[in-house]
Amino acid sequence: MNKQKLKESMQRNCQVKYGKSIEKAVSYQIWNSLSLALLEEIVENWNQTQEIYKKQKRAYYFSSEYLMGRALGNNLMSMQVYDEVKELLEEMHINLNEIEEIEEDAGLGNGGLGRLAACFMDSGAVMNIPLSGYGIRYSNGLFSQKIVDGSQVECVDEWLKYGDPWSIRKDDLAVEVTFDDFTVRAIPYDTPIIAYGSKNVNTLRLWKAEFLESFDFELFNNQEYDEAVQAKNRAEDISRVLYPNDSKEEGKLLRLRQQYFMVSASLQDIIRSHKEEHGLDFTTFDKWHVIQLNDTHPVLAIPEFIRLLVDEEGIKFEEALAISQRIFAYTNHTILQEALEKWEMDLIEQLFSRISEIIIKLDEHFEATLADKDYEEEVLEQFHIIQDEKVHMANLAIHVGFGVNGVAQLHTDILKERELHQWYELYPEKFQNKTNGITPRRWLRLCNPELSALITELLGNEDWVMDLSKLDELEKYVNDESVLKRLMAIKHTKKVQLAEYIKETQGIEIDPNSLFDIQIKRLHEYKRQLLNAFYILDLYYELKENPTKEMPSVTFIFGAKAFPGYERAKAIIKFIGQIQQLVNEDEEVNQKMRVVFVENYRVSLAEKLFPAADVSKQISMAGKEASGTGNMKFMLNGAPTFGTYDGANVEIVEASKEENNFIFGLRVEDIAQIEDEYDPQAFYENDKNLMRVIDSLIDGTFSDGGTEEFEELHDSLLEGTSWHEPDQYYLLADFKAFKEAQEAVLTAYQDEMSWAKMCLMNIAHAGVFSSDRTIMEYAKDLWDIKPIRI
């Protein structure tokens, strides 16, 4: 890199954008100026990449979320100029770390679904796969979380407040998306996905919704100012917020608008490029294009594609359907029925009546194709796209798509054997497994430079960054005490860094010499943060009764957001907050244990948490977690898994061996045996310690501020509700096993060298969980696409 050229570009950008020299600029202005200068460096490669991709089949990833994280540091690493730019900035008396910290996390995703999409974008570029991402450019993310008196408070996530220097607005490629009641303009913003180790630059194209006119001039002229911008605001609402609350009909309609907006704009874009490059011949469309639907959110793409071909291109319905059956594949991310979207037909009819007509026609078509298979009516009903006046989006995706994949071997097996068994029998050739993965660039090379340097030294080169399977060679150091001590020293360094961050941002002091036991993920009942909280409270009571208990000091760290409308999840956060206050303020126990709920869990915070973890808490009810990717990030950074035999935990244990992890609790087959006669009351009555922690919800130990949320939590476990049985996620049944496994952790941690071996064995066998491996499996097994590079 030409440092002088970069410096001059920074100066020019700062002068033009802010009217001042870089020497007088504040942090966010320097960040923008530097980012634009770096963007200049890769634009030519970006354009060349798009040109060569036109020569062969391309894949398009449709996702409602992309949890990208910060761009600057990751792009510097991908361009392999991080150290050079850091040196240049030091010469200019600028601290690169301070500039990185000013950047807001892009508010484009929420959980594992969005982070997986981001990892796939990175791996697609690195592996030179012609892969483009399509989504929505939300003006605001889900929300910025504050923890106030232990409770979640939602604030606006203004990720764009300092601008977005890494995206390019392309008005010339705008398209119009028409609903039955109004039309909006979809403006594409292109973000470069820079390949580490290659000149390829892939594209993430995100759509922003704008009204056709900025305001109604006649209304404004009549001094009806609010009414003059009403239509504009209504259009912009479509891309305003990620996952708007849909507890009422208006919220449902907005979510449905978002989904249609995204897929319609994206499909119009793909069809336009096809016509430019291949003319009006749609019979070969599948030779050039394949679309991966990331969960059910983009499944409206199927009827919309058919609509575009039939209504706009003059193709017959049967031919349009046949083309659709060759270009769409569907990734299932869950076995939770409530997470498989089912949209009321009347909502679809309100917004796009033509789409409802096509869905009805598709349902009739597939009913006719199944007529000769001698299904009983009850079985046949399960295959319908429309059931009880609702459109079952997963059914639509499976009927039409040529491929259906789960995201971990256990998850796929459950889909085939239980949740989608009838579909598997109908279309066995469609089902595949594609175990999730993570990018080693962000989740080790960037977030843990100390460990990365050690790995590079031990392996003799940095090839592992591109081929994570090379980590296998680390196993030969498992008995090398000097290496193990260095590994533990690095872990301590990362714990010190995290402790300093938590002290600075939340004012909570934690001991980096303690065991860091971390559970970070979306807050949902099946992920069982409440089970973890019950154990922590039980340990607190045990230490109060037995202050001399032999154990290492331990810090329990939580990080999670609960959806604003998910009241029970928010109650669990409040309960954890109450436990945090009880434990941390009690001088009799707080030297041995502490609790921290870190606020506003996001990618940039995760980059601090994963490297600092001693223990990876993955305790979802067996059979409910499709895969997980946080478990892989912990593993890659040397944290043994404490978890159920669920999701990708199964494959983690297979790779690094059960003796190097802590597996506990009921397995899928165990639950199947007891679910019909499960009685949580028996566990409650026969375990006084369990009874005590559960009763703390209602006996005055803690306060929920008079909301009765804690009583509702208590009753949901012991009495159930109108919509589910008592303790539907088997917390009480797994409590004893959880305690035993946690005791095993506390014992094992006291033998530093033995613990270090467990950590190294996890790192050494994390290579199989690279998203590079996953994306190449998609390319080979589903998309039939080969790499191509400039």
Where in the sequence numbering do the catalytic residues fall?
Answer: 333, 521-522, 527, 629, 633
Cα separation, 717 vs 702, in Å, equals 17
Q: How far is CA 537 from the centre of its chain?
A: 30
Residues found in the chain: 790
Cα separation, 785 vs 60, in Å, equals 12
> Helix or strand or coil: residue 424?
helix
Query: Closest Cα to residue 323, out of 401, 261, 413, 412?
Result: 401
Strands (E), 662-773: 662-663
- Nearby residues of 289 by Cβ (< 8 Å), 6 or more positions away: 57, 58, 59, 60, 270, 274, 327
Tokens encoding 354? 């033509």
Query: Closest Cα to residue 237, out of 267, 261, 213?
Result: 261
Cα separation, 326 vs 306, in Å, equals 12
Cα separation, 256 vs 550, in Å, equals 56
Let me know if 300 is exposed, middle or buried by CB neighbors in 10 A (0-12, 13-18, 19+): buried
Task: Give the bridge partners for 155, in sequence order.
Answer: 144
Q: Are 466 and 126 in contact (CB under 8 A)?
A: yes
β-bridge pairing 289-294 and 58-62: parallel
Q: Are 626 and 599 in contact (CB under 8 A)?
A: no
Q: Are 60 and 266 in contact (CB under 8 A)?
A: yes
β-bridge pairing 615-618 and 641-643: parallel
Q: Are 765 and 648 in contact (CB under 8 A)?
A: no
HSE-up (13 A, CA, CB side) for residue 663: 19
- Nearby residues of 674 by Cβ (< 8 Å), 6 or more positions away: 666, 733
Residue carrying structure tokens 């592992």: 464
Cα separation, 267 vs 305, in Å, equals 7
Residue carrying structure tokens 């390829």: 200
Strands (E), 483-534: 515-520
Cα separation, 360 vs 366, in Å, equals 10
Q: Are 216 and 227 in contact (CB under 8 A)?
A: yes
Phi, psi of 460 (to 5 degrees): 90, -5
Tokens encoding 414? 């459950």
Q: Are 138 and 241 in contact (CB under 8 A)?
A: yes
